[in-house]
Amino acid sequence: MNHPLLAKVYDTVLAPTEWWGVRDQRRRLMDGLGGRLIELAAGTGLNVPFYPSAAAEIHAVEPDRHMLVRLRSKAEARRPAAPVYVYQGDAQHLPFADGVFDAAVMTFALCTIPDPVRALDEAHRVVRPGGVLRFLEHVRSPSDRTARWQDRISPMWSRVSGGCRLNQPTDVILNGTRWDVDTMWRSGGGSVVAGQAFRL
């Protein structure tokens, strides 16, 4: 992936939604996590300020080298909290052994990753049995009117946002994987879901 302009404007473009509630969702997503964490498709590092202080270490994976520069800058500014290791890598092919993490985090990632099922399978592989997945994702709205609007703008939106698919039924995809979805709640008129799933 190579989106220099998107990386440059990403934080600025998202700033209004962050202040209108997404920051709070990010904070809740990290609440109570500890041990060894992995974040997949970490982007420019908007989750970094909310990484849990109880974590032993955090590994952040991002494929876009331009996003990676901003992610690394935020991670370095976070010191001396728990160490954050930053990698350029693909969530569909993680360079880690089986069961080495206690938790995985994905935030507005599955809508962009080309094969979300493969990415969820990889997260499942690298998280230990009993571990947890926390997610915050765009989804196709249950409202027919909103879903039609998503269908109309999705092709254009995907071109300018690095491949994000606003109308992807990510909630259905999550429920169809090996993760045991424990909680899932909606916001944004039903077009955003957040929750957690367990690795049995």
What Cα–Cα distance (Å) separates residue 5 from each residue in 10, 19, 85, 89, 161? 8, 22, 25, 20, 10
What CA–CA distance (Å, rounded) separates 177 from 185? 18
What pLDDT is recorded for position 4?
85
What CA–CA distance (Å, rounded) separates 38 from 85? 9
Nearest to 123, CA basis, from 136, 135, 141, 137: 135
Name residue 195's beta-bridge partners. 135, 184
Backbone dihedral angles phi then psi of residue 35, each to the nearest 5 degrees: 75, -145
Provide the residue-wise pLDDT of the chain in tens; the chain has 200 residues: 577 888 889 889 889 889 989 999 999 999 999 999 999 999 999 999 999 989 999 999 999 999 999 999 999 998 767 899 999 999 999 999 999 999 999 999 999 999 999 999 999 999 999 999 999 999 999 999 999 999 999 999 888 888 999 999 999 999 999 999 999 999 988 899 999 999 99
Q: Where are the domains of the chain?
A: 4-198
What pLDDT is recorded for position 43?
96
What pLDDT is recorded for position 150?
94
What pLDDT is recorded for position 80?
66
Which residues contact residue 83 at a Cβ distance below 8 angstroms, ignoring those fewer than 6 apart?
Answer: 57, 58
What CA–CA distance (Å, rounded) separates 74 from 141? 32
Nearest to 41, CA basis, from 69, 14, 18, 60: 60
What pLDDT is recorded for position 50?
95
* 8 Å CB contact between 41 and 109: yes
Quick one: fold of 4-198?
Rossmann fold (3.40.50)
What pLDDT is recorded for position 97?
98
